């Protein structure tokens, strides 16, 4: 299994495979699609209006440094469950 990318989360380094990187990018793309569908052209505006740290939210849309707690806050802003969000993601 080859290492494609390395992401740092806190002090832990985790090597990810191509498949894992692809999945993370799909999550980021879906977050961006939801934001645009909700009428926000700016990730900063969406984060501000929904009391989500704007830097963290921007990183999540760019598929970097995911925090599950932040993902759940974003889904709450969209009135969406985890099941609904992950349905169809590969």
Looking at residue 14, its pLDDT comes to 60
Return d(Cα 71, Cα 77) in angstroms, integer.
Answer: 10
Place of tokens 């977050």: 31
Architecture of domain 5-86: Orthogonal Bundle (1.10)
Tokens found for residue 60:
């999540």
Looking at residue 66, its pLDDT comes to 77
Q: Average pLDDT of the chain?
A: 82
Helix 54-61 to helix 68-77 angle (10° resolution) is 90
Helix 18-37 to helix 54-61 angle (10° resolution) is 120
Looking at residue 17, its pLDDT comes to 81
pLDDT band at 63 (very low <50, low <70, confident <90, very high): confident
Q: Kindly list the domain boundaries of the chain, sorted by start residue.
A: 5-86
Q: What are the tens digits of pLDDT across the range 10-53?
A: 333 367 788 878 888 999 999 999 999 999 999 999 999 999 99
Q: Where are the alpha helices (DSSP H) in 5-89?
A: 18-37, 43-49, 54-61, 68-77, 82-86
pLDDT of 3 higher than 80 = no
Kindly report the backbone phi and psi dihedral angles of residue 62, in degrees, each rounded to the nearest multiple of 5, phi listed first: -90, 5
């Amino acid at each position: 299994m080859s290492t494609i990318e390395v992401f740092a989360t806190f002090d832990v380094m985790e090597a990810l495979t191509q498949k894992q990187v692809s999945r993370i990018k799909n999550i980021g793309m879906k977050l961006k699609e939801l934001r645009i569908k909700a009428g926000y052209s700016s990730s900063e505006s969406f984060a501000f209006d929904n009391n989500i740290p704007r830097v963290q939210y921007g990183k999540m849309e760019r598929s970097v440094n995911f925090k599950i707690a932040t993902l759940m806050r974003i889904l709450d802003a969209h009135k969406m469950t985890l099941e609904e969000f992950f349905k169809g993601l590969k």
